[in-house]
Structure 1
Amino acid sequence: MIRLKPGFEHDTIAVEASGMIEADDYSSVLIPALEQALKDHASVRVWYEIDDGCRGVRLLSLWQDVLLGLFHLDDFRRIAILTNRPSFRRMGELIGLFMPCPVRVFHLDEGQTARVWLSQNR
């Protein structure tokens, strides 16, 4: 499940993932938030926090993630991924290789460092 996290700048989409990440999480939460933010901003920052209780990602969710990246490739300014899980850390590092914007993976206890990094300009 993906839910929006409050308390971030207006040009930042902040989400927290827990349980099982489903394809519907993209269509009902992440994509509408991105489209709304892009009405006011040329590009957005993304805070993607994956808690320790996250059990995984459904295959269709991964496809949704790929499509989101392809259709909005130039719409992201920076992406911070926070997780302690090794598999999600590797996935975040892999995503960073293909994105034109800076992507950085942080441990969950590095939240303040991640916020500072995310707020920086290129």
Structure 2
Amino acid sequence: MISQIEGLPAGTLGFRAHGQVTADDYESIIVPDVEAAFALNRKLRLLYVTAEDFTGFDPGAMWNDAKLGARHFSGWDRVALVTDVPWLRVTAATFSFAIPAQVRLFHAAEIEQATAWITEASDG
């Protein structure tokens, strides 16, 4: 299940993953929010948090994530991933070089720092 993180500034989206994330979670929550935000903004920032009860992604969810990322490949300004899940941290670190955005990993205890970083003004 995916829930929205409220209270972020315009141009910044936040999502929290709970339990097993499914393709339907992407289609019903993430995709509409991302598409609506890109209709208003050239660049977006993303805060993605895995909750303590996060268990993983269904294959369909991973495919939808890849499709969404490819569709807006150069549209991301910053991406903050907040997780203590070892395989997710390794995967994100391994592939972050391929994303044309600033990508930072944070541990669950660093949620406040991640939120501050994703919402701070750009360097230039």
How does the TM-score come out when normalised to structure 1? 0.93
CA distance in 2, matches of 1:83, 1:29: 20
Helix, strand or coil at the partner of 2:9? coil
The residue that corresponds to 1:114 in the other structure is 114
Q: Counterpart in 2 of 1:51? A: 51
Q: 1:75 matched to which residue of 2?
A: 75
CA distance in 2, matches of 1:13, 1:54: 19
CA displacement at 1:94 relative to structure 2: 2.8
Q: Secondary structure at the match of 1:74?
A: coil
Q: Do the aligned partners of 1:44 and 1:78 also contact (CA within 8 Å) in 2?
A: yes
Cα displacement (A) at 1:104: 0.8
1:4-83 correspondence to structure 2 within 5 Å: 4-83=4-83
- Call closer, same or farther: CA 1:25–1:93 in 2, change over 3 Å: same
How many residues of Structure 1 are paired with residues of Structure 2 in the alignment? 122
Is the 1:78–1:103 contact (alpha carbons within 8 Å) kept by the matching residues of 2?
A: yes
Q: SS of the residue aligned with 2:27?
A: helix
* 1:44-64 per-position Cα deviation (integer Å, ceiling 9, x unaligned): 100000012111111111111
Letter in 2 for 1:121: S
Deviations 1:52-77 (A, max 9, x none): 21111111111111111111101111
| 1:75 alignment partner AA | G
Moved more, 41-50 or 108-117: 108-117
- Measure how far apart 1:97 and its partner are: 2.1
Checking the alignment, whether the CA contact within 8 Å between 1:52 and 1:85 is kept in structure 2 is: no
Seq. identity, %:
29
Residue 120 of structure 1: how far off its partner (Å): 4.1
Could you say what the CA RMSD is over the residues aligned between the two structures, in angstroms?
A: 1.3
Q: Which one-letter code corresponds to 2:83 in the other structure?
A: T
AA aligned to 2:27 is S
